[in-house]
Structure 1
Amino acid sequence: VPRWFSNMDEMLAQTDVDMVLVITPIQHHFANAMTAIAAGKHVYVQKSMTATLDEAHALLAARDRAGIKLVAAPGFDLFPTTLHMREVVRSGVLGKIGFGYTYAWGFGHEHENVRNGTDPDSSLTNINPMWYYRKGAGPLPDVTIYSLQLATSILGPVRQVTALGNKLMPERKWRDETIQIELEDNAVLMMEFASGAIVTAWARDTSHSRRNPWGGLGLYGTHGSLEVTDVDGATGYPLAFNVFGGGGWGTHGQDVGDHTYTQPLTAQKYLQGEHLELEEGHLYVDIMELADATTEDRAPRASGEQARHVVEIIECAHKAIAFGQTQQLTTVF
């Protein structure tokens, strides 16, 4: 890296960049993105876009005033399999979706090779990952957000959310530091979508599954079901899904058969050649979407509006856990 800065204002004053990539701890997304927008820069914000709904409202208002483009991760609408699943649901072949589930999990950033010194080439080795356990972060906005983004990309907005959570590991350690956890390390969300579908999502950072595909999803309608059967571990993109219905026990309506649809990562136009070897190729895809949306002067498909809605789902889930009451959402996309 020929030039580096430890201060955003200094960087913006001394360079002539077109876009700023905000890839920091979640608690700093809002301030850094607002600084970049104030300087007239297009912005990419890693997930979750902000830590609170109020921040999300303010960020999108600043975007609109400045007339810049903003892309928010993770951009599931940028992968063809997501669009195909949405087409299947909207076609009505599954009937009316009544129930679904989706899940993703982590195990804490302090266990990553880049954090514990086992990756000698990493510049992240000495960066303290304990921000993950502070308010504004945790498994919901860092990991479960993939599940929420995928589910809303297919089913649309959520109407209300309830949730339960627990804290089984009140302390975490990294090197010689011990931190008191400020958030749940396990949570289960139940979301009612505007369509009437009820979908669960899991959040956890204590252990993971060896057999269920990370980022799995299942949707079950009156006529059939849709289940993700393969997920790319590096990007979280669904690679294959099965559609089943009709002609068997427990199904009603037309016979839609039993079909598995598969698309490789190369179905995404940006993931070609050497870019298939990227450790987290979905970041590259999101960033290229911002570049194309800027040069083509169009609205990004990984929209700030959907990201704001997901931020509200997460905020409502925390409130539901704290107060034991179902929370109504106020945003759509």
Structure 2
Amino acid sequence: MKPLKEVRWGIIGAGDVCEVKSGPALQQTEGSTIVAIMRRNAEKAKDFAERHNVPKWYNDANELINDPDVNAIYIATPPSSHEEYTLKAAAAGKPVYVEKPMARTHKECLSMVNACKEAGVPLYVAYYRRALPNFLKVKEIIDTGVIGDIRFVNIKLHKPLSPDIVGASEDPENWRIFPEVAGGGYFYDLASHQLDAMDFLFGPIEEATGYASNQAGIYPAEDITVGTFRFKNGVLGHGVWAFNTGNVSDEEVTTIVGSKGEVSFPFFGDHSVTLKIDGEKDKVFNFNISKHIQQRLIQTMVDELLGKGICVSTGVSGARTNWVMQEICKRDDR
């Protein structure tokens, strides 16, 4: 694909994620602008367009995809429609930026990757932590050997059954707890960020297994997942993702242990990184991250589309994350 002179985005599904995390970032990134948005609800589409100074709005995705003023597509819908819209955008010859998780299944991911490859257009996935300074700091610590040879990774994400989750099965807008829409439950929504970051830090996961269960029975999807995994470089990993605990068990931290020390950090809390080295005082690094949190990744993506950079979050890497989640949950690639 030839470099673009300017990236003119069309957004499919301008919902909550577009309000702060990505929409303003697409507008503020150098060489990038939003020219059209689409929502099935015409009033909401018009409202978003007016509030964000977007010149065009649609309630039909096909019209947006085929708009000649749009030369790149951002898909911000629930995962059940990611494959459909990606294939249509690729057929129209337009680069695609898709929200995470990339799709419901690994099979759908591969379909998206192949369609974009055949059309000669790039495919990116919104795993924006790959570009955040706190995760780049973690990568620096690992790559420079500060904590020695890496032994293992431990991921903890324990959340209580909060009022907004209890009764969630009666709220069709909470698509994250319906496997037919999301691929899985909160594990697919949140662990996808964590497992993709592990891919970024250590390379591909070669083997994965685990168990997923619906213990509380509050909503259709699994509410607890336990997984183990092994990277191609020999590093081992373990994770427990529980969304059914009591308040005293509320905890979220990832720890990477090496032969000389360890580094730990949250994914969904603050943006700190804590370094512990044998015989030394602990160090805490704090980072200020823009509320438009996708902007750093979007800048790398826009730079690549303009022919002056490389984006590190692609459809190929995103598909690997879906494969790992599928293996851990022991789901068929339906």
TM-superposed CA distance for 1:303, in Å, is 2.1
Q: Do the aligned partners of 1:100 and 1:220 also contact (CA within 8 Å) in 2?
A: yes
- Partner deviation per Cα, 1:251-295 (whole Å, 9 max, x = no partner): xxxxxx2342424235xxxx3xxxx3xxxx334444443323212
* TM-score normalized by the length of structure 1: 0.72
Residue 217 (structure 2) pairs with residue 170 (structure 1): yes
Given residue 208 of structure 2, which amino acid in structure 1 is its aligned partner? Answer: V
Residue 262 (structure 2) pairs with residue 218 (structure 1): no
Given residue 76 of structure 1, which amino acid in structure 2 is its aligned partner? Answer: R
Q: Do the aligned partners of 1:103 and 1:144 also contact (CA within 8 Å) in 2?
A: no
Distance 1:103 1:288 in 2: 30
TM-superposed CA distance for 1:22, in Å, is 0.9
TM-superposed CA distance for 1:133, in Å, is 1.8
Q: Do the aligned partners of 2:297 and 2:311 also contact (CA within 8 Å) in 1?
A: no
Distance 1:307 1:210 in 2: 34
Distance 1:33 1:306 in 2: 16
- Partner deviation per Cα, 1:9-57 (whole Å, 9 max, x = no partner): 1222345212211111111111111111211122111111122222222
Of 282, 288, 294, the match for 1:265: 288
Distance 1:289 1:95 in 2: 30
SS in 1 for 2:77: coil
Q: Do the aligned partners of 2:123 and 2:315 also contact (CA within 8 Å) in 1?
A: yes
Distance 2:257 2:317 in 1: 23
Counterpart of 1:241? 273
CA spacing shift, 1:100–1:17, aligned 2, 3 Å:
same
Segment drifting more, 132-141 vs 52-61:
132-141
Of 21, 32, 35, the match for 2:88: 35
Distance 1:105 1:69 in 2: 36
Of 78, 92, 101, the match for 2:131: 78
Given residue 223 of structure 1, which amino acid in structure 2 is its aligned partner? Answer: K
In the TM superposition, 1:109-124 aligns within 5 A as 111=164
In the TM superposition, 1:16-31 aligns within 5 A as 16-31=69-84
CA spacing shift, 1:209–1:198, aligned 2, 3 Å:
farther
TM-superposed CA distance for 1:79, in Å, is 1.1
Distance 1:108 1:23 in 2: 27
Distance 1:242 1:39 in 2: 46
Given residue 198 of structure 1, which amino acid in structure 2 is its aligned partner? Answer: L
Q: Do the aligned partners of 1:144 and 1:202 also contact (CA within 8 Å) in 2?
A: no
CA spacing shift, 1:244–1:283, aligned 2, 3 Å:
closer
Counterpart of 2:102? 49
Q: Do the aligned partners of 1:105 and 1:139 also contact (CA within 8 Å) in 2?
A: no
Q: Do the aligned partners of 1:20 and 1:43 also contact (CA within 8 Å) in 2?
A: yes
Distance 1:108 1:95 in 2: 38
Counterpart of 1:152? 199
Counterpart of 1:132? 177
Question: Number of residue pairs matched?
Answer: 274
CA spacing shift, 1:220–1:209, aligned 2, 3 Å:
farther
Q: Do the aligned partners of 2:208 and 2:229 also contact (CA within 8 Å) in 1?
A: yes
Counterpart of 2:239? 201
TM-superposed CA distance for 1:309, in Å, is 1.0
Q: Do the aligned partners of 1:109 and 1:129 also contact (CA within 8 Å) in 2?
A: no
Segment drifting more, 150-159 vs 305-314:
150-159
Residue 321 (structure 2) pairs with residue 318 (structure 1): no
CA RMSD in angstroms, aligned pairs only:
3.1
In the TM superposition, 1:285-300 aligns within 5 A as 285-296=296-307, 298-300=309-311
Of 92, 97, 108, the match for 2:150: 97
Distance 1:59 1:146 in 2: 19
CA spacing shift, 1:108–1:213, aligned 2, 3 Å:
closer
Counterpart of 2:41? none
SS in 2 for 1:258: coil
CA spacing shift, 1:133–1:203, aligned 2, 3 Å:
farther
Of 273, 284, 307, the match for 2:318: 307
Counterpart of 1:190? 228
Counterpart of 1:60? 113
TM-superposed CA distance for 1:207, in Å, is 5.0
Distance 1:303 1:208 in 2: 37
Q: Which runs of 5 or more residues in structure 1 are unaligned?
A: 116-125, 173-180, 248-256, 324-333
Distance 1:290 1:297 in 2: 10
